[in-house]
Amino acid sequence: MQGFNLKENKIMRKIFSSDNFKGENQNSSEAKKESPSLNQASARCFYHQTKKIFVGSWNIGGITPPKNLDMEDWLDTQNNSADIYVLGFQEIVPLNAANVLGPQNRKVSMKWNSLIGAALNNRTPTKVVEENKTAEPQKIYPLKEHIYAEGEHGQDFQCIISRQMVGMFITIWVRCDLYQTIRHLSILSVGCGIMGCLGNKGSISIRFYLHETSFCFICSHLASGGKEVDRRHRNVNAAHILSRTIFPSGPLHDMPQKIIDHDRVVWLGDLNYRIYMPDSTTKSLIKRGEWETLLKHDQLKMELTEGHVFQGWHEGAIEFPPTYKYRLNSVDYLGCDQQHVSRKRRSPAWCDRIIWFGKGMKQIQYNRSESKLSDHRPVRAMFTADIRVAGTCK
């Protein structure tokens, strides 16, 4: 297409719309659709819809979920159902040498997908099957996606894609009536862990189009630690994720490649940013519930304000207690009560976050769940997103 001038390029793009050329990441059912005629292509008009998107993140701490785990406490489907669910996990397996360097342990991620599917479709957890779908190959530890078998009766939601990298796991579910409107699925993983490349830290990014609007979701687990040098290390991780995540541009070379070039972008995960103040002061302010004072010293809030690696990103108001670090099966932070003193000093912090980039999205909910399964509390956000839809002009 390089030989065409600008005017000819515009004409060709109008004729050969994205519906005519399916990338390598499409479902086989879409490939069977007939291409529209020239008259149909030239008569396309666009209108807008609003969809609700639930985004959640949870560091599991290497704990296998029990079969009777109540997912409703986190997903809250009875009170506030969404059209799309994007769920990211960290440490679904322990981050030991065997899991970091060895083959993937997919059993745990399959259990999570079974629990999620059961909660969204209001049924008993069932066995999850594996299916090969064409998608951008992972750069670290290739893994098949886990999806529910098509054709199951009574499904309201269907998993379009899921992917694991060591302890990180992201899974996306959509209403069944939206399934055929999802196009150009693509996945890229970036390892930022041991030696700067292994998958104990890093990100999994998923890109897709919903109708004519591009989405990108980044599930990540950044460097840990409470020192100032650890904050800089987290910034380096984030910068590497942004620079090394490059999606395919598509057959017409007109699809966004960089994360922030997509229409709607959400970053979720254990970003690991801490509260930069003395441990005793932090715990005292937490006991008094003075979140506003604590947030003035929150490292991520400072990064968002100063506009370095997260320039242009947004986060909703935080009106809930820090999500880390709790004693297991307890409402107490580790080391905050006299009866349970830990050798490991872990000052409470809002490690688990959800931020977004660009316009066209409005956050209408941002809070946390109270599950005591791990030493982190899961967070969740609900967005309304503006969607561009192609139609036929009357």
Q: pLDDT, tens digit, for every residue of 300-313?
A: 999 999 988 999 99
pLDDT surpassing 60 at residue 8:
no
Q: Are 202 and 238 in contact (CB under 8 A)?
A: no
Indicate whether 55 pLDDT > 80: yes
Instruction: For 227, list phi and psi in degrees, rounded to 5.
Output: -90, 165
pTM value? 0.83
Torsion of CA 210, 201, 95, 171, to 10 degrees: 0
Q: Give the CATH architecture of domain 38-392.
A: 4-Layer Sandwich (3.60)
- How confident is residue 376, by pLDDT bands cut at 50, 70 and 90? very high
* Per-residue exposure over 107-137, b if at least 16 CB sit within 10 Å of its own CB, e if not: ebbbbbbbbbbbbbbeeebeebeeeeeebbe
Q: What is the pLDDT of residues 166-194, one digit of tens each?
A: 999 999 999 999 999 999 999 999 999 99
pLDDT in the model for residue 125: 72
Q: Token pair of 75, please?
A: 């997903």
Of the ranges 73-77, 130-134, 202-206, 336-340, which one carries the lowest mean pLDDT score? 130-134
CA atoms within 13 A on the CB side of 15: 7
Pick 139 or 296 by higher pLDDT.
296
Q: What mean pLDDT comes out for the span 340-347?
A: 63
Q: Contact 362/283 with Cβ under 8 angstroms?
A: no
Lowest mean pLDDT among 77-81, 166-170, 294-298: 77-81
Q: Is 102 exposed, middle or buried (0-12, 13-18, 19+ CB in 10 A)?
A: exposed
pLDDT at 380: 98
Per-residue pLDDT, 369: 97
* 322 vs 145, more confident: 322
**Contact between 162 and 129 (Cβ < 8 Å):** no
Q: What is the mean pLDDT of residues 136-150?
A: 37
Compute φ and ψ for 122, nearest 5 degrees: 55, 60
Average pLDDT, the chain: 85
| Alpha-carbon gap, residue 205 to 189, rounded angstroms | 6
Helical (H) or strand (E) element with 380: strand 379-392
Q: What pLDDT is recorded for position 308?
A: 87
**Domain boundaries defined on the chain:** 38-392
Q: Is the pLDDT of residue 337 over 50?
A: yes
Query: Is the preceding omega at residue 325 within 30 degrees of 0, hence cis?
Result: yes
Each residue of 223-251: pLDDT tens digit?
Answer: 999 999 999 999 999 999 999 999 999 99
Which is it for strands 313-314 and 264-270: parallel, antiparallel or unpaired? Answer: unpaired
Return the closest-CA partner of residue 170 out of 217, 227, 208, 104: 217
Is the pLDDT reported for residue 374 higher than 80? yes
pLDDT of residue 153: 53
User: How confident is residue 335, by pLDDT bands cut at 50, 70 and 90?
Assistant: confident
- pLDDT given for residue 392 in this prediction: 85
Show the tokens assigned to 152. Answer: 């199951």
CA–CA separation, 274 vs 295, rounded Å?
10
pLDDT on residue 154: 65
- Judged by DSSP in three states, 368 sits in strand
d(CA 347, CA 88): 24
